[in-house]
Structure formats: structure tokens, C-alpha cells
Amino acid sequence: MKGRFLEQIKLMLGQAPQKPAEISPEAQQIHKMKRLTKEDFEAMKKHVRDHALEKHTWRNRRWTVLILVNLLFTFSFWLDIQILEGALTASRFVGFHLIDLNSALQVMLAHKHIIVNLFIGTATVFLLWAALGGRSFCSWACPYHLVAEWFEALHLKLVEKKWVSDHQFHRGARTVMWVLFSLLALVTGFTVFETLSPTGILSRALIYGPSLALGWVALLLVFEVVYSRRAWCRYVCPIGLTYGAVGTISPVRVVYDLNHCFHEGDCRKVCLVPHVLEMVIKGRSPDVKVPVGPDCTRCGLCVDTCPSGALKFEVKGLNKLL
Amino acid sequence: MSQETDAGPADATPAPRAAKGGSAPRSNARAQEARRRFIRTAVMSTAVVGAGLAGYLPVAAQADKPRLRPPGALDENDFLSSCIKCGQCVQVCPVEAIVLGDITDGFGIGVPHIESRAQACDFSCDAVQCILACPTGALVYRKPDFLKIRPGAELAHKPVLKAKANDPEPTLNLIERAGLARLSRPEACLATQGKGFKGQARGAGFKGQMRYMDVDRWAPIPVADHPYERDLCDLCVTECPIQDAIRLEVTEAADGSKRGIPVVMEQCVGCGVCEMICPVEPTAIVVDSRAVWEGEA
């Protein structure tokens, strides 16, 4: 499984998913069994389908957290309750500095000088998201993610009606963007990405009131609705990659269980980053239990969607403790 | 949309590999789609980076008339690069003088500035709280050594805050000025015309606030709630929060009538209170952002 770790990082940087080079004997047996008893398999699948409940447990929890976090920013200023002061790019939680990793990176590269508070805030946020799953920042805190999710529903409706279609980009674009925006910050001495970041724009608009910059956010949303599903989060946003890198060491993750999977692919249809769910395709799972890679935003949509409970949240090591 | 086949999702093939011809033979249609996607990606990436770089245009356009930054701000380009666009300075300001730049400011989006005419910094926080709040050192009490202070930006000594004149430590922890006040329209200035002033400095509808020591040291009130009555208008001088920053030079004519002219002095930190309080429309005195002291005019 050691090779898999590197493979998942390459996958996050834009490489196409590969068929597993090695499949464990246990997994091979299950793969084989699923082929042998096709009728039984279909019957089981139907049984699970019929008894599956439509649930939005994780989505609702996530939306609640995301909205509360952003409202806490807003009310800390509006009502002067001073719990979470600042915006998503940098803030103080009851006095403790918190600094967004990508914004910190941009400022450090552009300004080339790191003061103590900047370091403390960045280190704190690094530890926080390393523990909580890296890209879970995206789905559990980023206001653009939520808005984009709502507009994604609209996009999918239009796709269904065949009014629009999803034009995919190469996922490597995001890696290129990350490198380019870092270089631009370093060379120009300006935080170029911040000018475009819908995360910063929305966060500030929620706290300090509406701005013209919301027009840019609207433009992105229109683009995503009519041309390319979730384009900003999937192919552009370097914040996602920064947090993804942090998430490589995270104990919080979604784990796939081959035993419970009927390979229907509902999870991949709802997923923002379906390449991380490559193993759910029939015959692809390298093992019986496979943790989902670091590009996963831990949004839990797949966990909600899976009718047979093959995808579950897990905290590494916690299962052994409990 | 992604289909559930063994062939994997449609986004599985990087274009360069298709061009080279991978180990597995690929259909023309797939190769073509991969090529299209590659072009699409190149166009989109260029557009995004281009849009980002377009943020330089407003910065260049504002170069000769920079915005007034909060006290303790680094020089313009350093300020733009070091500011993390969080607005914590906005949140601590008791008179809400600090506002954030919009996307029309390009790289200056989310970067704080002060519109003195609408709401100036009157230092009613006493401690320059915005500097204290800044997490990245974009606002600082003392610049790091590798950043030089422009000649004339440095104050001769730490400015004395009139409101703190009786405190054990009467000075503000400021080394540099943010700008410098200038009598831009001397002909319109009431004092130069020998006129007095009576009433609300900026009219009843003006939303700006100020701290008045005789009202409440810790609670700024609207300027509209504090009318004035002066025989010879000297609001820019009396309302200036800093000692020895501006004075009124009065000349008495033979008939006993008095005329005055506001003279900006070395201790001016460029806070903008004079610009906010000036009762003339448009204002007769302005703050030139980043302007330096070159001796008394």
C-alpha cells in the first residue's frame, strides 16, 4: 500500500487513475465471487436498493457547519461578539490567530517576510486541517463550495434536459495554476490569486457587505452552470490543492469496503472529485478496504448516497481505540 | 458525465499521452476528445491567469494617486503584497474609518484604505488598534529593517495625541506619516476669507463620527450631533487630533477684521480629520496619501 500513497498524490496533481498493479488475494477472491454468482448478486443488489433510504445526513451536517462557521464570522463583526474576527483568509478565534494556508503562502511568497503572528496562525491552521482532513476545508468551510453546490444542482438539471453539457478540463490544470500563482506571487510581489479567489470574495462580502467582486463570482457560477460542472473547484482553485497536500497525512477519511459494494457508481455521480473513487469500479479495488485519497473533500455525499453502506467515514486509529 | 464502465471516467486520458500514442490503442474519437480537452484546458488556464494579472491595471492606474492607507501601513507595493485581505483592521476601528478595496482595485481587492472625507481616522482608539490587529505585518509600529523609510515620511518625534496629553504616555506609537494635509483650495477656505462658522460641520445628514473628549473619551459620536460656533473658522486646527500638526496663522487688518490661514506642520501624520471636518463643499483641505514632509510651505 506504500506505492498507493504516492499514486494518490499523483492522482491529486492531475494524473489519470490507473488500474491497480496489485490486488490483494482477499480482494481478488471477492472480485471473483461477484462475477461467479451473477444472479444472486443482482438479487442482493435489488434487495439493498429496495431497502435503501434516501438520506442526507452528512450533507445536512456539513451545510450546518459551513453556514455556522461563516455566520460566526459575520456575527462576530455585526453583533460585536468577537469570537471569530476577520475573514476566512485570516482571523482570530477568541484571540488565537488562524491564517488560511493558501493566503498565507501567497503573502509569504509575495512579501518574502514572515512575522511571528503570521507563522503562528499558519501553523495552527495547518495542524487543524491536517487533523480534520485537509480538503475538508473546501466542503466544510468554503462559502464558494456551498454556493457552487447549489448551482451544480441547477447544472445537473439542465444536463438532464440536454440544454447544456459538461465540458471537462484536464485536472492537471489545477496543479499548473498552483505553480503559476505561486510563481506570480514570488515574481510580481503581488498576491495575484487573491484578486480572483471567490472564497475570499464571498467571505469578505458576508462580513463586510456586498461588493462588485460578487460579479466575478456570479460569472464563475454561470460558467459552471452552462459549460463545465464545478469547474473552479475541480480544475482551478489552488486552495484545494494546498489543503489536499495537508490532507495526505490526515487520519479523517472516507473508507471504501469492497464487501458491501455493488458497483453501481452512484457515489461517483455525486462526487466533486470522482477520480478518488476509482476503486469502486468493478474489478479495480486493490484491497478489501481502501481509504479514499487526499483529494477527497470529505463532503460525505458518497457516504449518504451509497445504498449499501460501502463508504463510511473513519478516523484512522480511532477504531482500534474504541 | 461519468459513466460506470471499466474504461473509467471520461476525464481519464491526459492529452499528451494520447498524442504520443499510449500502449493501448485508442479510438479516434477518444483521441479527438482528449485533444479538444487539452485545447480547452489551455484556453481556460490562460483566461484565468490573464484575469488574475489584469488586477495589475488598477494598481498601475492608482500609482500616482494612491489610496490613503491606515496608519502604520507599509509603502504601497509592500502593503499590497503583505496584506492578507482579512479586514481585521476594519473590525477594531471604533469610528469604522477603514474600508476594504473592491475588485476594481485589482490586486488591492480586500486591502484596507481610508476615505477621509467620509470618515477619517481620529485615533479615538488611542493605541492605533488596526496595527495591533494586523496578522501579517502589513500595518506595523516599526518596519522590518529591510524596508527603508522614505525621506520625509519619518516623523521628527512620536506624535502627541491631544486626547492623551494628560496621560503618562501622551504619544502615539507611530514613526511614519500616512500622508500629509494640504490646503488645496485656499480661496474657498472660510478662514482665509475671514469667515466664521456656525452649525453642523458637514450638515445634518453626515454620517461621520468623531471622539470628543468633552463628551466621552471612549464613545465617538456623530459629527452631526456636535455643532460648532466659531467667529473665525478654525475647525481643521481645533479638531486635529495631533499636537503641532496644524496651526491657524491669523492676520488682523487695520479695521480689526481677522483672516486666518491653516498651516500644516511637521507633526502632521495624514490622518485626514481636517479633510473630514472642513465645512466647505468640496473640502478646502485634503490629505495627500504618501506625501512626505518637505519643509513648511
- Neighbour tally for A177: CB within 10 Å: 21
According to the model, what pLDDT value does residue A63 have? 97
Chain B hits for A185, CB-CB cut-off 8 Å, are: 81
Whether the pLDDT of residue A223 is over 80: the answer is yes
Q: Among all chains, which residue has been given the C-alpha cell 498576491?
A: A191
Q: Nearest-CA neighbor of B111 among B65, B74, B143, B80?
A: B80
Backbone phi and psi for residue A257, each to the nearest 5 degrees, phi listed first:
-120, 110
A148 within domain boundaries: no
Instruction: Please indicate, yes or no, whether residues A186 and A167 belong to a single structural domain of this protein.
Output: yes
User: Is the same domain home to A272 and A301?
Assistant: yes
State how far the alpha carbon of A130 is from the alpha carbons of A236, A244, A294, B139, in Å: 22, 9, 11, 30
C-alpha A197/C-alpha A125 separation (Å) is 19
Question: Is the Cβ of A269 closer than 8 Å to some Cβ of chain B?
Answer: yes
Going by pLDDT thresholds of 50, 70 and 90, the confidence category of residue A20 is confident
What average pLDDT is seen over chain A?
92
- A111:B107 CB<8 A: no
Whether A152 is in a domain gets the answer no
Name every residue whose Cβ is closer than 8 Å to that of residue A52 and which is 6 or more positions away in sequence: A307, A308
Which of B11-20, B56-65, B172-181 is predicted least confidently? B11-20
A317 Cα to chain B: minimum distance (Å)? 32
Q: What is the pLDDT of residue B22?
A: 47
Confidence check: pLDDT of B15 > 80: no
Specify the DSSP class assigned to residue A16: P
Q: Which pLDDT score is estimated for A19?
A: 87
Domain range enclosing A122 = 58-136+158-245
**Rounded distance, CA A139 to CA A65, Å?**
10
CB-closest option in A91, A111, A274 to B81? A111
CB atoms within 10 A of CB B291: 20
Is residue B214 scored above 80 in pLDDT? yes
Q: Name which of A92-101, A293-302, B4-13, B48-57 the model is least confident about.
A: B4-13
User: Cell numbers of A150, please?
Assistant: 447549489
Question: Would you kindly state where each structural domain of chain B is located, as residue ranges?
Answer: 67-289
How far apart (Å, rounded) are the C-alpha atoms in residues B73 and B101? 15
At residue B9 the predicted structure's pLDDT band, cuts being 50, 70 and 90, is: very low
Residue A264 and residue A167 share a domain? no
In degrees to the nearest 10, what's the CA dihedral of A175, A177, A181, A184? 110
Tens of pLDDT, residues A155-183: 999 999 999 999 999 999 999 999 999 99
Across the interface, of B53, B81, B109, the residue whose CB is closest to A110 is B81
Whether A272 and chain B come into contact, CB under 8 Å, resolves to no
Contacts of A236 in chain B (CB under 8 A): 44, 48
Query: Do A167 and A275 sit in the same domain of this protein?
Result: no
- Give ipTM to 2 decimals: 0.87
Q: What length does chain B have?
A: 297
Closest CA to B176 of B160, B157, B198, B200: B157
B contact test, residue of A179, A194, A273 with most B CBs within 10 A: A194
B91-144 pLDDT per residue, tens: 999 999 999 999 999 999 999 999 999 999 999 999 899 999 999 999 999 999
B91/A268 Cβ within 8 A: no
Residue pLDDT, tens place only, A264-291:
889 999 999 999 999 999 899 999 999 9
Given this model, what pLDDT does residue A68 score?
Answer: 96
Q: Which of A210, A226, A245 marks a domain boundary?
A: A245
User: For residue B24, what pLDDT is reported?
Assistant: 54
**Which A residues 125-144 touch B at CB under 8 Å?**
none
Q: How far is CA B22 from CA A14, A116, B13, B19, B27, in A?
A: 17, 50, 10, 8, 11
Which residue, of A245, A277, A293, is where some domain finishes? A245
Contact B6 A281 (CB under 8 A): yes
DSSP-derived 3-state class of residue A62 = helix
Is the CB of A191 less than 8 angstroms away from the CB of B56? no
**Would you give the distance in Å from CA A273 to the centre of its chain?**
7
Q: CA–CA separation, B109 vs B84, rounded Å?
A: 10
CB contact under 8 A, B41 and A195: no
Q: Does A217 touch chain B (CB under 8 A)?
A: no
Query: With left for phi above 0 and alpha for psi between -120 and 50, is residue A43 left, alpha or beta?
Result: alpha
Contact B155, B292 (CB under 8 A): no
What integer pLDDT is reported at residue A8 of this predicted model? 86
Question: Domain tally for chain A?
Answer: 2
Q: Are residues A48 and A62 in the same domain?
A: no
Partners of residue B88 in chain A, C-beta under 8 Å:
85-86, 90-92
Which residues of chain B have a CB within 8 Å of the CB of A91? 86, 88
Q: Please say if the pLDDT value at position B259 is more than 60.
A: yes
Partner B contacted by A180 (CB < 8 A):
yes
Same domain, A38 and A180: no
Cross-chain CB nearest to A212 (options B9, B40, B103): B103
Contact A104 B84 (CB under 8 A): yes
Give the pLDDT score at B177: 95
Q: Is A161 exposed, middle or buried (0-12, 13-18, 19+ CB in 10 A)?
A: exposed
Q: Say yes or no to pLDDT of B6 above 70.
A: no
Instruction: State residue A6 phi and psi, 5-degree precision.
Output: -65, -40
Q: Is the peptide bond before A294 cis (omega within 30 degrees of 0)?
A: no
Give the pLDDT score at A2. Answer: 61
A251 touches chain B (CB under 8 A): no
Most confident of A14-18, B5-9, B33-37, B241-245: B241-245
CB A143 within 8 A of CB A199: yes
Q: Pull the grid cell for residue B103.
A: 475588485
pLDDT for the residue numbered A53: 77
pLDDT score, position A244? 95
Interface touch B1/A180, C-beta < 8 Å: no
Q: Do A165 and A224 fall into the same domain?
A: yes
* Gap between the Cα atoms of B29 and B23, Å rounded: 17
Which residue in chain B has the smallest CA separation from A217? B103
pTM recorded for the entire structure: 0.88
CA dihedral B45→B50→B51→B56, nearest 10 degrees, is 150
Dist CA B260 CA B234 (whole Å): 8
The residue out of A245, A278, A300 marking a domain boundary is A245
Asked if the Cβ–Cβ distance from A110 to B82 is below 8 Å, we say: yes
Chain B closest-CA separation from residue A168 CA (Å): 7
Kindly report the nearest CA distance between residue B216 and chain A, in angstroms: 20
- Asked whether residue A14 is domain-assigned, the answer is no
pLDDT of residue A211: 94
Helices (H), chain B: 15-20, 28-53, 56-61, 76-82, 88-92, 129-133, 235-238, 273-277
| Contact yes or no for A293/A236 (Cβ under 8 A) | no
DSSP A166-223: -----THHHHHHHHHHHHHHHHHSS-HHHHH-HHHHHHHHHHH---TTHHHHHHHHHH
Among A103, A168, A192, the residue with its CB nearest the CB of B84 is A103
Give the residue-averaged pLDDT of A95-100. Answer: 94
Residue B267 pLDDT exceeds 80? yes
Query: Which burial class, exposed, middle or buried, applies to B136 when counting CB atoms under 10 A from its CB (0-12, 13-18, 19+)?
Result: buried
Mean pLDDT for all residues in chain B: 90
**So what's the pLDDT on residue B2?**
39
Instruction: Tell me the shortest Cα–Cα distance from A95 to chain B, in angstroms.
Output: 10
Residues A101 and A216 in one domain: yes
Do A216 and A120 lie in a common domain?
yes
pLDDT for res B20: 47
Residue A67 lies in a domain: yes
Does B135 contact A192 at a Cβ distance shorter than 8 Å?
A: no
Q: What angle do CA A166, A178, B75 make, to 5 degrees?
A: 130
Asked if B104 and A283 come within 8 Å (Cβ–Cβ), the reply is: no
Percentage of residues in chain B having pLDDT higher than 70: 91
Contact list in A for residue B48 (CB cut-off 8 A) is 177, 196, 236
Q: Which of B32, B39, B84 to mutate to test the interface with A (most CBs of A within 10 A)?
A: B84
Which residue among B14, B59, B104 sits closest to A212, beta carbon to beta carbon? B104
Please tell me the distance in Å from B295's CA to the nearest CA on chain A. 32
